[in-house]
Amino acid sequence: MYEYHNALRVASELQPAAPVTLVRPDAALDAARFFVSAFPGKSFYAVKANPSPHLIETLWAGGIRHFDVASIAEVRLVRGLLPKAVLAFMHPVKAEEAIAEAYHVQGVRIFSLDTHEELAKIVRACSTDGVPADDLTLCVRLKVSSGYSKLSLASKFGIGVADAPALLLAARQAADALGICFHVGSQAMSPAAYADALAFVRAAIVEAGVTVDVIDVGGGFPSRYPGMEPPSLETYFAVIERAYEALPVSYSAELWCEPGRALSADYASVLVRVEKRRGNELYINDGAYGSLFDAAHVDWRFPVKLVRADESVAEADEFAFYGPTCDDMDYMKGPFELPSDVKAGDYLEVGQLGAYGQAMRTGFNGFGAGETAIVRDEPMASLIPVDGVPAVPANVVKLGAHRR
């Protein structure tokens, strides 16, 4: 990857016809160091948010030593890059073959589950010559509310508090270390999400009467986007720590989390070109089948800016985007705020696409990813404080600023 000062330099020097992913290793390092130093426990990076090898290695350089993997492909990826990393296979429903390879070949010892059937599957897959494994960490996933989050993760996985005690007791018999985990949903906009979920954890522990070794609060930690201004991440950590310390097992258990978006969102943006303007609709060369999946399918708004050598003095206006494919579904209604004089041939930078941007790309209709370039300016919006300096608000674009 070549290195540039910012998006303008990329646009000026490359004049790219395809989207260019702009990655910010400094931002990823800052995010990793922040979680390592500020979260009161262990942070597992949720690889699904962005499986870029460059990002994974950058997070390792920033101090992240634990990784939440959801498939055998993610297990292989991280193990190949980082032989000493601690991997947690946290998808609650796994193929038995995947469990067996993860345990016997890849050295995974941490698994999640939410049913007695999955527990039996894990025990079988990890046995050697019929002898059950004696070094498993098994995390029972509770069903909790996603009411505070922009994207729900409450319907697919998790066992209810009423049914959890029996599963906790069964898992305790098979586990060297027993954990309870949950997920409050993606982009949790209030720390109360974690306090409420930990109240469910407390109820399950008390009812089961078991010793629990791990409390895993999962992911859901937010980033900044237009129209989404969550509290500081330090506020989330403080609420989690208070609720965790009130649990009857806090004196002996470990506290874990699984940030994905919060560790990766600042890492990347995408430089796109306007191919056509029709009123307040802009036809750009990336879209719903590329890095803007969330903008199309869940109406996610991302920060955008016009990339020109001479800054526009036109008033701001609201625009929608069409992507490059021939599909009507390749549409992002936004609204995305840009100068009213934006026109065909202009370049735009779309920010905060390090989370679920690169990960969701396809090659549909022959349109895929272009080049990748390193840039050294600030991310377009951030919740990560750097050296005591407050994070960048979503409505402020610091043109040309350096992080170092």
- Contact at 8 Å (CB) between 223 and 187? yes
Distances in Å between the Cα of 247 and the Cα atoms of 144, 191, 288 are 17, 17, 43
What's the confidence (pLDDT) of residue 393?
63
- Contact at 8 Å (CB) between 146 and 153? yes
A 10 A CB-CB count for 162 gives: 10
For domain 2-22+265-375, give the fold: Lyase, Ornithine Decarboxylase; Chain A, domain 1 (2.40.37)
Give residue limits of the domains in the chain. 2-22+265-375, 91-257
Spatial distance between the Cα atoms of 47 and 30, rounded to a whole number of angstroms: 18
The answer to whether the Cα torsion of 125, 131, 133, 139 is positive or negative is positive
Spatial distance between the Cα atoms of 241 and 285, rounded to a whole number of angstroms: 44
What's the confidence (pLDDT) of residue 1?
72
Two domains, one topology: 2-22+265-375 and 91-257: no
Q: Pick out the chain residues at pLDDT < 70.
A: 388-404
What's the confidence (pLDDT) of residue 221?
97
- Contact at 8 Å (CB) between 316 and 339? yes
Span 168-188, pLDDT tens digits = 999 999 999 999 999 999 999
- Contact at 8 Å (CB) between 28 and 59? yes
Distances in Å between the Cα of 259 and the Cα atoms of 160, 346, 348 are 23, 35, 28
- Contact at 8 Å (CB) between 191 and 39? no
Residue 274, amino acid:
V
Spatial distance between the Cα atoms of 47 and 326, rounded to a whole number of angstroms: 31
Instruction: Identify the bridge partners of residue 336 per DSSP, sorted by sequence position.
Output: 319
The angle, 0 to 180 degrees and rounded to 10, between the axes of the packed helices 72-81 and 53-61 is 50
Spatial distance between the Cα atoms of 235 and 78, rounded to a whole number of angstroms: 30
Burial group, residue 283, by CB count within 10 angstroms (0-12, 13-18, 19+): middle
For domain 91-257, give the fold: TIM Barrel (3.20.20)
Give the chain's mean pLDDT.
Answer: 93
What's the confidence (pLDDT) of residue 358?
86
Residue 73, amino acid:
A
Burial group, residue 375, by CB count within 10 angstroms (0-12, 13-18, 19+): buried
